[in-house]
């Protein structure tokens, strides 16, 4: 089992506190990350994908899991 924990923010992003690599699946390029935690967009509306830029709160994203 992995040591990485991904937390799901209510109506917001996926939060990753531990150091991880984020890699473009097609190119294999690693995305530059200068600090942790990182927040990965879950709403699809970020202007800085795959990272969250806070837009989820402006668009009223409903992140209900069920
Ligand atoms: S989850 Fe924050 S911009 Fe998408």
- Which class does domain 1-66 fall in? alpha beta
How close is the Cα of 53 to the center of ligand 1, in Å? Answer: 6
Question: What's the gap in Å between 20 CA and the centre of ligand 1?
Answer: 19
Residue 13 CB burial class (10 angstroms; 0-12, 13-18, ≥19)? buried
Q: Which of 7, 8, 15, 46 to mutate to test the pocket of ligand 1 (most atoms within 8 A of CB)?
A: 46
- What is the reported pLDDT for 1? 66
Instruction: Report the C-alpha gap between 41 and 24 in whole angstroms.
Output: 15
pTM of the complete model beyond 0.85: yes
- What DSSP element (H or E) covers 6? strand 6-8
All structural domains of the chain with their residue ranges: 1-66
Which pLDDT score, from 0 to 100, does residue 14 have?
A: 98
Q: For residue range 3-59, list pLDDT tens digits in order.
A: 889 999 999 999 999 899 999 999 999 999 999 999 999 999 999 999 999 999 999
């Amino acid at each position: 089992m992995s040591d990485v924990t991904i937390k799901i923010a209510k109506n917001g992003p996926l939060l990753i506190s531990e150091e991880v690599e984020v890699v473009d699946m097609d190119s294999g390029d690693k995305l530059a990350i200068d600090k942790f935690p990182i927040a990965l967009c879950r709403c699809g509306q970020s202007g800085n994908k795959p990272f969250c830029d806070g837009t989820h709160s402006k668009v009223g994203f409903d992140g209900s899991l069920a």
